[in-house]
Amino acid sequence: MPTGTARFLRPRDGQEARVTYVELFFDLIYAFAVTQLSHRLVHDLSAFGALQTLILWFAVWLGWQYTCWVTNWFDPERIQVRLLLFAVMLVGMVMAASLPLAWGERGLVFAISYVTIQVGRSVVVLRFLGGRHALTANFRRICGWLVISGVAWIAGGLLDGPARFACWGVAVLCEYLSPMFGFPLPGLGRSGAADWRSAEGGHIAERCQGFVILALGESVLVTGGTLSDIEAWGAPAIIAFLVCFLGSVAMWWVYFDSSSSAGSRAIGKSDEPGLMAAYFHYVHVILIAGIIVSAAADDLVILHPDQRIVWATAWLLIGGPAIYIVGNGLYKRIVYGWFPLSHWVGLALLAIVTPFAFHTDLLMTGGLTTAVMIVVAVWESVSRRSLARAQTVGAE
């Protein structure tokens, strides 16, 4: 447990740290960022455009993730911590607003705002902790790696084309991979399991679940907004809207029907709740990426339901659900200890749909992928409930 003098830490009284309203308010900037990324994907369906959006998504997620860990340790009800969150929100709005042109003329604006969030927040946290707290060394290592990645972000912002892509790719890898190795730095050593043991795992699980809801909610809003923009509501547009809405419901069901609560319980029972919470962060970046891609696909299905499928649209319509299923399967692998059979079947069905999709249109393909998501959702729901009943009978 932490020792030494530090300010504004959450009380550790044995009760689960609850998610506060200021944290939910903070997440709104990331709702905006998710929408920006989805729209960017729709307007650049090339493979290179997808990779560019992927790098931006990792940046958005990492900015949220590192802040999430800060509010896991520090009490958002304290005025100083709230002010820190509001400052991050302000700069985060600039970052999110620059996303559509981040690979163009606003690259430096994006890089500076992002680095300001990551490094600035870490410096403030170190001020909160003081020099002798048990968490200080850990946050020094974190800050060190964020400074290293920050140099790559700024360098990329000053460059163009492939050079920017290379710099930002390195920056993302620094921030995503360094925690896996304990943020090792010369003279500062590396973090170990003990450095994360004081983390409140249930709080992290709830924060990740909240982000999934946020992303799914933005997907639904984008779907409704796209329908609203269509002047003449013909039968294809209405059917496409229903197909996309049912797909969003199925995605919600796959994640929230039972596994979300099971995730919180699994962290609570874990011997290393902090490390397990870190695994949650690693897999949720994949899971939510699937939601963003699916939202972009829904946009196209509603706007152009009778458009023929080409490679650029096929990967969007089929890749989104596939990424989401993979992310959910990895998440359940952490929670339950195995990758569900229903998810393997879902991936197999999507593989079967892929060659057929090139002989039909966006609406038909969207309908087929929605049907696959419904199969996975129903299968998973029935199997989990059957397992729960069997365990109850066995306990009796």
Closest by Cα among 71, 158, 79, 156 to 121: 71
> What does the domain layout of the chain look like in residue ranges?
21-195, 201-395
Q: Which of 248-252, 271-275, 285-289, 310-314 has the lowest average pLDDT?
A: 271-275
Check residue 197 and give its pLDDT.
Answer: 57
- pLDDT for 191 equals 77
CA angle 68, 258, 330 (to 5 degrees): 60
pLDDT, average across residues 375-385: 88
Instruction: Count other C-beta atoms under 10 Å from residue 79's C-beta.
Output: 8
pLDDT of residue 1: 45
Does residue 236 have a pLDDT over 50?
yes
pLDDT of residue 239: 94
How far apart, in whole angstroms, are the C-alpha atoms of residue 266 and residue 277? 10
The pLDDT of residue 18: 80
Asked if residue 114 lies in contact with residue 63, where contact means CB atoms within 8 angstroms, the answer is yes
* Residue 181 confidence class, pLDDT cut points 50, 70, 90: confident
Residue-wise pLDDT tens digits, 41-64: 988 888 899 999 999 999 999 999
352 close to 369: Cβ distance less than 8 angstroms = no
Helices (H), 178-310: 201-229, 235-256, 259-269, 273-303
User: What class, spelled out in words, does domain 201-395 have in CATH?
Assistant: mainly alpha
Q: Which residue has the tokens 């706007």?
A: 303
Distance, in Å, from the CA atom of 388 to the CA atom of 181, rounded to the nearest integer, reads 37
Q: Give pTM, 2 decimals.
A: 0.90
Tokens encoding 338 = 């195995």
Alpha-carbon distance of 63 to 69, in angstroms, equals 10
Predicted confidence (pLDDT) at residue 4 exceeds the cutoff of 60: no
Q: What confidence tens digit (pLDDT) does each residue in 166-180 have? A: 999 999 999 998 888
Q: Mean pLDDT score of the chain, rounded to an integer?
A: 88
- Helix, strand or coil, per DSSP, at residue 185: strand
- The predicted structure's pLDDT at residue 199: 62
Query: Of 105, 100, 76, 73, whose CA–CA distance to 88 is shortest?
Result: 76
Q: Give residue-wise pLDDT tens across range 122-159.
A: 999 999 988 888 888 888 999 999 999 999 999 999 99
